[in-house]
Structure 1
Amino acid sequence: MTTDIRQLRQAFDDAELHADTDRLHTLLADDFMSIGERGFQLDKRQWIERQADFAYLSLETAELDVRYYDRAAIVRCVQRSRATWRGEVMTLAGRLSQVWIELPDGWRLAGIQFSSLDAA
């Protein structure tokens, strides 16, 4: 089971990196919610639509930890990335937590929360 979530997490990162909105639509639960480092929230539609203004240039994940709980999994990791927001380049480093849930039609990402790391 660990391999499945690790593969899905990687598929999510790849979809984000390549702005694959069709794949994101499939991977995200209908009631998906993200919480940004300053408390802002994006639902599934808003998360996918943000691709119009936000684009990854690079995305690396480290310190991956996956924990399973019945029909849920929590993924914790560190991500370092370069991205553009409305054309402005930024470097990001953060710890994030993802909640994956098992639904009748497969695993879906139900939530993600970000916490910035100090620049190192």
Structure 2
Amino acid sequence: MTADIRELQRAFDEAELHADTDRLNALLAEDFMSIGEQGYLLDKRQWIDRHADFAYLSLTTTEVDVRRYDRAAIVRCVQNARATWRHDVMTLTVRVSQTWVELTDGWRLAGIQFSSLDRAALLGLT
């Protein structure tokens, strides 16, 4: 019952990895909102447009947990990524929460929130 949501989450990751702005436009709800790891907000247009300065070099998603409700689903996972922001390379390890909603024209990502994770804590070293 959650396989379709998991497939949408994978499609979103692929669109992000390849900066597929057309696919992102189709996957995101019109009122989409992102909350970044430092609390900043990006709406749908800002999220898509950030690919002018931001690019993934690699993106791996683990610990995927999908909770499906009537017309909504929450996906929680951990992402490990290498990316560039204005040509500066960075390594990111974040816990992600995605809120998917079923609209009349299909499932759309309505919200995403990121929280930084300490790699040592993930490995049980702290």
Q: Name the TM tier (shorter chain).
A: over 0.9
Aligned to 1:13: 13
State whether structure 2 residue 70 is matched by structure 1 residue 76: no
The code of the aligned residue for 1:88 comes to D
Q: Give distance in 1, aligned partners of 2:33 and 2:15.
A: 17
Q: Give distance in 1, aligned partners of 2:70 and 2:5.
A: 13
SS at match of 2:7: helix
- Gaps of at least 5 residues in structure 2 are 121-126
Which digits, 9 at most, give the CA deviation of each residue in 1:9-53, with x for residues without a partner? 000000000000000000000000000011100000000000000
State whether structure 2 residue 2 is matched by structure 1 residue 2: yes
Structure number with greater Rg is 2
Aligned to 1:90: 90
After the TM superposition, which parts of structure 1 deviate over 4 Å for at least 4 consecutive aligned residues? none
Aligned to 2:29: 29
- The alignment covers a number of residue pairs equal to 120
Aligned to 1:52: 52
Aligned to 1:118: 118
Q: Give distance in 1, aligned partners of 2:111 and 2:104.
A: 18
Instruction: Work out the percentage of aligned pairs sharing the same amino acid.
Output: 77
- TM-score if structure 2 supplies the norm length? 0.94
Aligned to 2:123: none
Aligned to 1:103: 103
Q: Give distance in 2, aligned partners of 1:10 and 1:23.
A: 12
Q: Give distance in 2, aligned partners of 1:3 and 1:94.
A: 23
User: How far is 1:69 from its partner?
Assistant: 1.4
The code of the aligned residue for 1:66 comes to V
The code of the aligned residue for 1:102 comes to E
